[in-house]
């Protein structure tokens, strides 16, 4: 295997791994810490926005730094936002399925 091909494959692996795992995890950590710092005053709209924008920006920036083409950068950004928002949706489903019946009355 030639060195250029090996570097390209490594960059691709790093970019996809960051988009699917690292960037959504960082966004969730930032959202939880921001909620703790502000004591929940900003509401769910800011959290959902942060969970969509932050991983997309991180994934796009990292993939651009790795020297990937524009299509790969956009794809990584969309995948990172999608993974993060799907995780938020799963959290909401879990929350509403496990909350006691009389909690909101």
98 pLDDT higher than 80: yes
- pLDDT, tens digit, for every residue of 14-41? 888 888 888 888 888 888 887 777 777 7
High-pLDDT (> 70) share of the chain, %: 96
1 pLDDT higher than 70: no
Q: What is the CA radius of gyration of the chain?
A: 17
78 pLDDT higher than 90: yes
Query: Which DSSP string do the residues of 43-105 spell out, in sequence order?
Result: HHHHHHHHHHHHHHHHHHHHHHHTT--HHHHHHHHHHHHHHHHHHHHHHHHHHHHHS-TTTT-
Report pTM. Answer: 0.78
pLDDT at 71: 93
Please, what is the average pLDDT of the chain? 84
Span 96-102, average pLDDT: 83
Span 36-55, average pLDDT: 78
């Amino acid at each position: 295997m030639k060195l250029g091909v090996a570097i390209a494959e490594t960059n691709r692996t790093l970019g996809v791994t960051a988009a699917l795992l690292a960037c959504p995890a960082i966004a969730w950590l930032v959202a939880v810490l921001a909620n703790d710092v502000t004591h929940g005053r900003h509401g769910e709209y800011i959290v959902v926005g942060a969970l969509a924008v932050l991983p997309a920006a991180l994934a796009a920036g990292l993939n651009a730094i790795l020297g990937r083409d524009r299509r790969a950068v956009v794809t990584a950004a969309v995948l990172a936002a999608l993974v993060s928002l799907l995780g938020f949706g799963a959290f909401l489903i879990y929350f509403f399925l496990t909350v006691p019946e009389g909690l909101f009355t």
